[in-house]
Structure formats: structure tokens, C-alpha cells
Amino acid sequence: MPAQTAQILDGKALAQKIQSQLKERIQTLEPQIGRPPGLAVLMVGDNPASAAYVRGKERACKNVGIASFGRHFPTQTSQQELEQVIDELNRDERVDGILVQLPLPEHLDSNALLYKIHPDKDVDGLHPVNLGRLVRSEPGLRSCTPAGVIRLLQEYEIELKGKQAVMVGRSILVGKPLALMLLEENATVTIAHSRTQDLASVVRQADILVTAIGRQETIGADMVKPGAVVVDVGINRVVGANGESRLVGDVNFDAVAEVARYITPVPGGVGPMTVAMLLHNTVQSYGRTG
């Protein structure tokens, strides 16, 4: 019998659909508000991966009609200088969203910078006020990657209510907020991490398995319940014998695709959704100003 192949959860296609919807929404709102939405991405230093991400975000902004107020600072920029820039952007009525591109050089305190951003302009959804709103199930800006995962599951009409969801990873960027969002959708949520005993047996219980640990192909077919939904948030760069690099996730895609019912690819799964939700948050913040 041929191996059963899971249905792909296509984040790239959904991200394009969301961008088209946002473009239409901006075209409706702009005549009423009198300006386009504005997003400021602040980048410090010369991390090549960060530079590529920022370029991607700026391209996506241009596609939907969001004005970019991005700033690129030299590595040695001081904490005080950056905090001053964030204060100015908080007051700037043309700017609806402010994002500090992580990671930052070691001499900077990223938490202090995040706390400086006004919660209503915190399009990354990482300010304690927005995380608090999530805990209380109140409206607010939601963290982009977790919100993108939920939106992707909704697009494919995957039932979360009453399901066993296992979140592997507990970072403030993905694991913790996504566990709360799954709980909000009435899933029964387990958070597993590097100190979890017998990780394989915990993961094998999952109807919905989300992994964000950043270790290449850790999750094999023997760890996945047949018919599970597998969402791979991990992005790991591996270099082959020929010296060429490629991106892989935390999941052994080919093996797991034979037992799962749905699976996200890497790349082309969760990554594009993160950018789409960043644009969504910017437009949400902009719509409130109208």
C-alpha cells in the first residue's frame, strides 16, 4: 500500500489571501483616516538573518499599502538613544505599529525597549499589557507567530475544542502565548519542554502537536499519534555535504507526513503567517485610530 501523505497546511497561500484582504481594508479606511497605516521596524547592527527578515517585512508592507518608517541603527547605538526613538514613534500619529527586530546586540536590554513601546502600537504582542490581555481573554494585539498558527488551523476548519493539544517549547515568543490561545479555543493543553520526562510519550498523546524548540528534525514518526495535526514552528538552517544550506523544521517532515493528517512545511508553513499577522496587527491598530 502507498504511504498515506498528510494534507499540507499552506501558510504561504493563506498569507497571500490575508494580504489581499488587508489591502482592500486599507483602501476602504484610508480616505476616512486621511493617511495610510504606518509600521516602524527598528533594527540594530548587521545580523544577516535579521536584515533579510526586515526586508521581507518592508516588502510585505509595500504590497498592502502600509507606509514603512523603519530605522537601521549601528551596532554600538545606546539604550538611551533607542528609547528616545521609541518615545518619538509613540507620539508620531503616522505610526500605528512599532517593532524591535530581535536579537539585539548584547549591550542592549531588549525587555526595557519592549516595555517602552505603547501597548496599542505593540504589533508584536509582547508587551506585558498585551500578554495580560491574552491571559484574561480580553481584546488586544496578539503575538504574531502564535496568532498565525491559530489562523492557519481555523482556515482549514480544524476542530480544537476538546482536543488534546501539546505545545513543545515554552518561550515568551511562541510557546506560552500559543498555549494560552489554544486554551482560549477550548483545547486541553499540555506544555512540554527540555525538562519534560519521557517527551515522546507526552507528544504521542497530541491530537494537535505544535513544536517550537529550534532543534532540527527532533520529532519523528514514532512520536506522532496517527491522524494528528502537526504544526512545525521550528526553523533550523542545515548545511549539506555539497556546502549548500537549506531550512528544516523541528519535525522530520517526510516521515511524519506518513502518519499525520495535516502538517505544515518548513519553509512555507508558519513563517509567512507571522508576517501576515504583523500586517494584520498594524491594520487593527490603524483601524482603531479612524
Which residues are identified as catalytic? 57, 101, 124
| Residue 235 annotated as binding site | yes
Q: Please name which of 226, 251, 224, 249 lies closest in space to residue 236, comparing C-alpha atoms.
A: 249
Is 219 a known ligand-binding residue? no
| Rounded Cα–Cα distance for residues 191 and 113 (Å) | 28
Q: Mapped to the 3 state alphabet, what secondary structure does the chain carry?
A: CCCCCCEECCHHHHHHHHHHHHHHHHHHHHHHHCCCCEEEEEEECCCHHHHHHHHHHHHHHHHHCCEECCEEECCCCCHHHHHHHHHHHHHCCCCCEEEECCCCCCCCCHHHHHHHCCHHHECCCCCHHHHHHHHCCCCCCCCHHHHHHHHHHHHCCCCCCCCEEEEECCCCCCHHHHHHHHHHCCCEEEEECCCCCCHHHHHCCCCEEEECCCCCCCECHHHCCCCCEEEECCCEEEECCCCCEEEECCECHHHHCCCCCEECCCCCCHHHHHHHHHHHHHHHHHHHHC
Is position 140 annotated in a ligand binding site?
no
**Residues at the annotated binding site for NADP(+)?**
169-171, 235
- Annotated binding-site members: 169-171, 235
